[in-house]
Amino acid sequence: DVQYQYLWVQRQLEHGNPSPGLLRQIEALVVDAPPGDNTAQRLWRWALEKMPWDSVAPALRTFLQRYPQDEAAKSMLAEAEQRTATAQRAALSPLNVAKRKANEALANNQLDQAQAQARKVLTINGNDAEGWGMLGYAAARQAQYDQAQAAFDKAYRLSQAPHWKRLAAAAHINHLLQPVDAAIARKDAGAVRDTAEQILAIDPQHAQGLTLQAQALHLAGQYQQAQAAYEHVLVQHPQYLPAVTQLVRLLMEQQQWNAANQALEQHAPVAADAQAEVASLRAEILQGQAEHYLTQGLPAPALRLLERAMALNPGNPWLRHRLARTYLQTGAVAPANAVMDEGVGLAPEDSDMRYA
């Protein structure tokens, strides 16, 4: 029934823009419309009015082939063509050409070219938020986080767009994180704590900031407080691997091997791309237990643990080195040489490994 089809089309148009299939259905209704019935024509024009202006012109031309006297459709076509022409001219302006080239360079990771084109944008219009944002993206990808933060801040001030503010905060945090590995390596609990506090002042729920807060307690020897802090991180951010790793290592330092294994089982990420790191951490626990046995002069149980560890982390050359040394302690020279050769094969350019 044609009236039913009209109602169905009307319902579709009330709920969204027309699809190509709906437009074809309306054209078919026009062909089949009873004489004097202009309902299909009105539905067709309504559908065209709901289409984006930059894609409506071809459909309007098809409509006007059937209804050449429709003044409303003529006006729509004239406006669409004018707006399309304006947009095409704008796309060819030096400003937009530079923007397009900057985005293409970013997409291809050509960061020097992206920076050059972003600066060209800003030479043309120093208040162009997108230009400052592209400059920020290029700087961030080169770990120039202080410059990235400044650029994103400028983009936010110019546009008030929230995503620039979020990117500025992320760049600030990454800038704060740059020296933290060195602070951890020198066991500088104060510097790690200061970094954590600055990060958490920006984002109180930041997973790495919370983990660093716990790690500062860990480095200061406040083991109970550190364990509670790591566990708090994992409540806020379940399966967050850096916190899992540090919690396991904290328990290993205290020779709580069962607790370390239980923590790993409870909190280990299940994502496929994390399984190699989880296996490496399991191997680390086994090696820690093995080292404990070796200090007690018990190479046989240590050897069994090291063999299990190597099965979990076969790509670790220094684990193979430790296993080879332990084979030698038990008088197993042939396995020791074989495992040591495999370790050298994994790190052929490491002089420490070759002469170990």
Q: Give the residue among 323, 260, 264 at the shortest CA–CA distance from 291.
A: 323
Segment among 26-40, 111-125, 174-188, 240-254 with least mean pLDDT:
26-40
Q: Which amino acid is at 109?
A: N
Is the pTM for the entire model greater than 0.75?
A: no
Question: Mean pLDDT, to the nearest integer, of 162-169?
Answer: 97
Query: What distance in Å separates the CA atoms of residue 260 and residue 286, rounded to the nearest whole number?
Result: 10
Question: What Rg value do the Cα atoms of the chain yield, rounded?
Answer: 33
- Say yes or no to pLDDT of 169 above 90: yes
- Residue 260 near residue 248, CB atoms below 8 Å: yes
What is residue 144's DSSP assignment?
-
- Say yes or no to pLDDT of 353 above 80: no
Burial grade of 40 (CB within 10 A; 0-12, 13-18, 19 or more) = buried
- Say yes or no to pLDDT of 356 above 80: no
Q: Where is pLDDT greater, at 66 or 191?
A: 191
Q: What is the mean pLDDT of the chain?
A: 92
Segment among 12-21, 187-196, 229-238 with least mean pLDDT:
12-21
Which residue, chain included where needed, has tokens 């500088």? 188
**Under the phi-then-psi rule, with left for phi > 0, alpha for psi from -120 to 50, and beta for the rest, what region is 212?**
alpha
The predicted structure's pLDDT at residue 37: 85
- Say yes or no to pLDDT of 15 above 90: no
Burial grade of 95 (CB within 10 A; 0-12, 13-18, 19 or more) = middle
Binned at pLDDT 50, 70 and 90, residue 6 comes out as confident
